[in-house]
Amino acid sequence: MAKEYSRARRVEEQIKRELAVMLSAEVDAPGLGLVTFTAVTLTSDLSLAKIYFTQLGSQLTEKEGEKILNEVSPHLRHCLSKIMTLRSVPRLIFYYDVSIERANKMEALLDEVSQEDSASNNSG
C-alpha cells in the first residue's frame, strides 16, 4: 500500500512539473496571466487528477481562468500522454486555489486582533 502511495505522489509531482512547462507553449490565452500550479491530487486508481492553480496579473476572474483551463484540459492531457510513461493519463480537472487568499485574510485578521490587543494594553 505504501508503495502505491509513493507512486501516486511521484505522478502528481510529474504532472505538476510538466503542466507548468507545457502551459505557456500549449495554451494561447493572453488574459490568463501567470498561472502557478499549487497542488495536484490523484484519485487512488490514477484516473482523475484535480489540479489546483493560482493566477497572477490576470485580466480574467478566477472562474474564467478555471473555465479556460478546463476547456483545454483534453489537449493538455494528450500532450501529457506523449511525455509521461503511464498506461493511461488521468483526466485533468482544474480548480482555482483559494487557500492563499484565505491565508492572507486570516493573517490580516490576526494582525488586526494583535493591534487591537496592543492598543487596549497600552491604554489601560
Note whether 54 and 35 are within 8 A (CB): yes
pLDDT of residue 5: 60
Residue ranges per domain, the chain?
2-97
Burial of 15: CB neighbours in 10 Å, binned 0-12, 13-18, 19+? buried
Q: Which residues are registered as beta bridge partners of 94?
A: 51
Distance of CA 95 to the CA centre of its chain: 7
pLDDT of residue 3: 54
**Considering only CA atoms, which of 57, 39, 59 is closest in space to residue 49?**
39
* Grid cell listed for 30: 493572453
Q: What pTM value is reported for the model?
A: 0.78
Answer yes or no: CATH 3.30.300.20 is held by domain 2-97. yes
pLDDT digits (tens, 9 = 90+) for 46-100: 899 999 999 888 888 889 999 999 999 999 999 999 999 888 999 999 999 988 7
